[in-house]
Structures are given as structure tokens and as C-alpha cells.
Amino acid sequence: MTTTGRQYGGRAISERKQERRARFIAAATRLFAERGYSHCSLADVCTAAGLSKRQFYEEFETREDVLVAAYDRIQDEAAAAVGTALSRLGADTEPRAGLTAAFTAYLGSIDADPHRAKVAFLEVVGVSERMEQHRRQRRHGWSLLIEMAVGPIAGPGAHVRGEPMLAAGALIGAVNGVAHEWLLMDPRPPVADLVDLLVPVALAITVPADPDTR
């Protein structure tokens, strides 16, 4: 019998490991947002998750590993929300309406948990060279999604202005900058206000489709 199929306490070991990993990630997301990553120890994460250091080391090697995992979960779920929103756009959707739907889905996912935004936009910045490289890789992933989204939003033949990676970087930089300031405001404006700011930025980097191709 493989490890994947083994049972313990009536449940597959793989299922128990997934649950433990999720508990560590959820605890780390909350702690890093509330106290700041630099002020949390590995022991703090274990205590918050209600699990042992031995169990931690079965899932991660370092405290930074669980930060990476928390960041990836936030980004993956936001990307899935955007993908769902794009799949619901009709062929006659106006670009502004399509972008509003995409940004609302992205920011709505980030804002769904009060701790996600702080981890995604503040706590991961400047942690290490490794983390900065990982953030860059994630930005490249978003750049590809932005390129893929231009067609469904602005119509066949539409494209981002200039070099796609730079255009996507301009948009991602705007999102990060606006979100950073938003996090520091008290009270925070509603997500709809951020969407209203970001949609014109996205329109500015989009070269519309030729009307004859729509």
C-alpha cells in the first residue's frame, strides 16, 4: 500500500497532510497580517495552527516557505476569480464593463479575507532576494493572463500597448501602488473606488480592436 492510500484514524494520510498544510497557511496568513512577518517566529505559527514543529517540518523547511505558500494561495485564488469573471463575459461586452468585472473579481478575492491584502501587498515585499524573485515570477504569470484577457475584454485584434511585459508591469504596478495606499487608509474606501481608479489605467494600455474585426 502506498503512503497516499494509507489510512490513519479513518482518514487517508494524504488528506491529513493537506489539512495540516492548510492550517499552517491559514494561521500564517492571519499572524503575518496582524503582527507583521518579521515579528512572527516559526513557533508562533505552530501555536496559532495548533500543530507541532515536527508537523511543520513535514510540510515546510523554513518560515519563509509558509509565507511563499500563503502568498501563492492568495494569488492563485485571485487568478481563479478573474478567470471565472472573464468566462462570463459576453461577446458584446464593452471593454470598460469587462475590465470592471475583472478588477472587481480580483480585488474582491483579495478583500474576501481581511488578512489577505496585507500579506499580498505589504508583508511579502523586501523579505529576501528569493521572495523578490518569486514575486517577479508571479508578476510574469499575471502578465500572461493580462495578454490573454485583452481579447475577451476588448475584442479580437485588441492588444496591449507596446512591449506586453512592460505594459502589464505598468498595470500591475498601478494595482500594487493603489492597494498599498488603500491598506494604510483608515477607514478604507470600498473596493469599488479602487476599481474606478484602475479601469482607466487598463484602458490606457489597451489598443482597441479594429471595429471591422469585432
Express each pLDDT in 18-57 by its tens digit: 999 999 999 999 999 999 999 999 999 999 999 999 999 9
Type of residue numbered 153: I
CA–CA gap between residue 193 and residue 103 (Å, rounded): 11
Domain co-membership, 73 together with 176: yes
Domain co-membership, 67 together with 99: yes
- Where would I find the beta strands (DSSP E) of the chain? 7-8, 11-12, 159-160, 206-207
Domain co-membership, 125 together with 163: yes
Domain co-membership, 129 together with 189: yes
Residue span of the structural domain in which 132 resides: 63-213
Domain co-membership, 173 together with 75: yes
Give 11's strand partners.
Answer: 8
Question: What's the pLDDT tens digit per position in 139-177?
Answer: 999 999 998 888 888 877 888 988 988 999 999 999 999
**Total domains, the chain:** 2
Domain co-membership, 95 together with 192: yes
Domain co-membership, 91 together with 194: yes
Domain co-membership, 80 together with 156: yes
**CB-based contacts of 93, cutoff 8 Å, min separation 6:** 101, 152, 153
Reduce the DSSP state of residue 159 to 3 states and report it.
strand
CA–CA gap between residue 161 and residue 138 (Å, rounded): 21
Domain co-membership, 192 together with 159: yes
In CATH, what number is assigned to the domain containing residue 155? 1.10.357.10
pTM of this structure: 0.88
Question: What's the pLDDT tens digit per position in 87-144?
Answer: 999 888 899 999 999 999 999 999 998 899 999 999 999 999 999 999 999 999 999 9
